[in-house]
Amino acid sequence: MKLQLNNFKHKLQNSDELILTVAKWKELGLKVVFTNGCFDLLHPGHVDYLVKASALGNKLVLALNTDASVQKLKGLSRPIQSQEARAFILSAFSFIDALTFFDEDTPLALIQMLQPDILVKGADYNINSVVGADDVIKNGGSVVLLPYLENYSTSAIEKKIKG
């Protein structure tokens, strides 16, 4: 059975649509926040992170790794949920304003095209290792590293299920 994303189609956008959407938001003076990730098995740590990211600005853009991209990063057993299923679930959250997929190893091209005001990653990164940080800072934006909720990870959930 194929998931019906019709109700959330306005949130799930290709890169061309997203560029126009973000440009409109910026024209209105809205602060655009960008983050990315796999978000495979949604857990409280994901929701906490996304809520905190959205609170940093007016609009939150979430770039999801495609299935192929997740598999490259996480191994053959992943993703557990398809990109369509992940987008369907995440698009239901009111604090996420736009979603897109990226197939590349990193979302650098998207970051460069969108020029978000704030780039958000987890605190397990440092600013020097955040892809696109230099571009965002050069354009007058900022990079924020958010702490994770302890004891929540998709890998731990996967291990528990397999164990």
Is 13 a member of any domain? no
Is 79 a member of any domain? yes
Largest CA distance in the chain: 51
What predicted TM-score, i.e. pTM, was given to this entire model? 0.90
What DSSP letter does each residue of 26-77 carry, written as one string? Answer: HHTTPPEEEEEE---S--HHHHHHHHHHHTTSSEEEEEEEPHHHHHHHH-TT
CATH number of the domain bearing residue 48: 3.40.50.620
Is 48 a member of any domain? yes
Is 23 a member of any domain? no
Is 20 a member of any domain? no
Among 42, 29, 111, CA closest to 100: 111
Is 14 a member of any domain? no
Whether the per-residue pLDDT at 5 is higher than 60: the answer is no
Is 128 a member of any domain? yes
**Full residue range of the structural domain in which residue 34 is found:** 30-162
Q: What is the count of structural domains for the chain?
A: 1
Is 143 a member of any domain? yes
How many CB atoms are located within 10 Å of the residue 57 CB? 21
Residue 3's pLDDT is what? 56
Q: In which band, very low, low, confident or very high, does the pLDDT at 154 lie, cut at 50, 70 and 90?
A: low
Q: In which band, very low, low, confident or very high, does the pLDDT at 151 lie, cut at 50, 70 and 90?
A: confident
